[in-house]
Structure 1
Amino acid sequence: MQDCLFCKIIAGEIPAQKVYEDDQVLAFKDIAPVAPVHVLIIPKQHIATLEDLTAENAELMGHILVTAAKLAKELGLAKGYRVVSNCKEDGGQTVYHIHFHLIGGRQMQWPPG
């Protein structure tokens, strides 16, 4: 998608501090971290929202969660972490390319915010 911020990061048009990349996903540091570790994990395939997922995306979504667990170990989050995805405006989504926040390195609170 031409105007998508995350698609531009994937294409290398916008720089990002990458922490992981494979043929399906890219993970990079959030530019406005809310914890000592705050990484965004995004699929390289443009999918606007969680509502746009289909059964054909099941393997990709599983890969994203396995990647989150792998990165949590590598980034020293043995005490715990949070994986969050916002969906649409009322859910707090600001970039319309699905993405997952891997957040940790401090005690998480509930409710968030």
Structure 2
Amino acid sequence: MIAASEILSIISDGTFIERVFSKDADWDDELDARDEAEFAEAWSSSYDKLEAMHPSEDAVMREIRETVFKQTFRITQSPELAGYASDDFGLIAKAFDHKIDIEFVNNLWDSYTKGSFPR
């Protein structure tokens, strides 16, 4: 697992987020797919587990979330999509920084590193 500071460095290069979101995709369909029970429940249970163990975010995690939101919004002009991506990266950063191994969170990171929006 990498640290939150390393995630910040990766996403700050300007190309990481662009690889994921500079596609001709139906982002509404992508977001709808995430509302299906299996994905939504896995996301929520991962979030709840991390919040119970570490309820606060540090400055680096907040910067990651802000950077992802701004870059995603700049590319897609969708505040909803930018919010989802920001939340994903907040979850990833918190799990990785605290060295908490959650398969679902690892899969989120894998999707992003492969240039895909997780669904």
Answer whether TM exceeds 0.5 for this pair.
no
How does the TM-score come out when normalised to structure 2? 0.31
Normalised TM-score (structure 1): 0.32
- Where relative contact order (Cα < 8 A, 6+ residues apart) is larger, the structure is 2
Higher strand residue share: 1
